[in-house]
Amino acid sequence: MTGRICGTGSALPHFRVTNDDLSKIMDTSDEWIRSRTGIETRYLATEETTTSLAVEASRKALENAGVDAAELDVIIAATVTPDKLFPTLSCELQSELGAVNATAFDISAGCSGFLFALNTVQAYIESGCCRKALILGAEVLSKIMDWGDRSTCVLFGDGAGAAVICADETGILKCVQRSDGAKGMALHCYNRPVNNPYKKNPADLDYTHMNGQEVYKFAVRTVPKTISEILAAVDVTPDEVSYFILHQANIRIIESVAKRLHQPMEKFPLNLTECGNISAASVPTLLDKVNRRGLLKKGDKIVLAGFGAGLTWGAAVLTW
């Protein structure tokens, strides 16, 4: 038995912010953001929460799969921006959806979170302890941005994407997840500081810090290598892959991966132009977009790949 993606869903906040909108509140420009990243707009939560976006995306994925929430054995939410430290986003989701038979837990793996959730569910399915699972990435990254730091805040957006995974004869052919904690400070954000009455010089709340060039180099080196490795492991060539659905951090990273794999950009769908980088939500929201446009045909080979904070990365090749 393997895992098969049998339904997808996504949700975005209603408030859309263009690069020109940002240039009115900080020293930046549409030209700078667009030419360096490919990003044109992003959606930012003003009324939505990580949980409300996750619930909407999950309901759509369950409907798309024709699966009732009570049939779920497992729910895994990938997020670095849950609304609460506890209970977890996945437990709140279980309650909202009425997934009374599921066990629910969160994964924190930055922008690779959805791939880590997929790999985990695959292991559960292979071991025989799960038949139907809901996995999702949901983020309100705007709450961990320093809106005075133009080098990070213009890159990110908010949203959620979900997928229902069912045990089946065909589906995931191979998936991997990897980490390199030694490079973790290239992209980091401290949690709540120690502020008990005995602490000297308590720190302020922290926001996202990124060494953009280091993350860029890591991504262009690691992602094509990992994709090549998993394809070789199952004897599939890049030419046989219909779509490469990559984490949406920067169009230049995606162009570089396409070049290294000798594949045309038409095989690399995008939503970063519209949504910016939504971390764990970027792969599943893009997968949902491609799925709902009817671009995926039964039997197509698809690659999913994520990379980000940790540093972490992961990839999967599957038959649709």
Rule CB under 6 A: which residues touch ligand ACO? Answer: 28, 32-33, 36-37, 111, 150-151, 154-155, 187, 210, 212-213, 215-216, 249-250, 252, 277, 307-308
> Residue 234 carries which side chain, given as an amino acid letter?
V
Cβ–Cβ < 8 Å for 130, 117: no
In angstroms, the CA 141 to CA 81 distance is: 6
* Shortest reach from residue 118's CB to ligand ACO, in Å: 17
- Residues facing 31 on adjacent strands: none
CA angle centred on 269, ends 273 and 299, rounded to 5°: 160
Could you tell me how many residues make up the chain?
320
* Shortest reach from residue 89's CB to ligand ACO, in Å: 19
Give the nearer residue to ligand ACO in terms of CB position, either 134 or 280: 280
CA angle centred on 186, ends 261 and 274, rounded to 5°: 60
* Shortest reach from residue 6's CB to ligand ACO, in Å: 28
Q: Which two tokens stand for residue 51?
A: 């949980």
The catalytic site residues sit at 111, 247, 277
* Shortest reach from residue 135's CB to ligand ACO, in Å: 19
- Residues facing 75 on adjacent strands: 104, 134
* Shortest reach from residue 307's CB to ligand ACO, in Å: 6
* Shortest reach from residue 213's CB to ligand ACO, in Å: 5
Residue 250, SS3 per DSSP: coil
Burial bucket for residue 267 (CB in 10 Å: 0-12, 13-18, 19+): middle
Give the nearer residue to ligand ACO in terms of CB position, either 125 or 189: 189
Cβ–Cβ < 8 Å for 97, 127: no
Give the nearer residue to ligand ACO in terms of CB position, either 105 or 216: 216
Instruction: State which residue has the least CB distance to ligand ACO.
Output: 212
Q: Which of 116, 59, 115, 50 is nearest to 89 (CA)?
A: 50
299: left (phi over 0), alpha (psi -120 to 50) or beta: left
Give the nearer residue to ligand ACO in terms of CB position, either 43 or 307: 307
Give the nearer residue to ligand ACO in terms of CB position, either 16 or 150: 150
Give the nearer residue to ligand ACO in terms of CB position, either 127 or 213: 213
In angstroms, the CA 319 to CA 297 distance is: 9
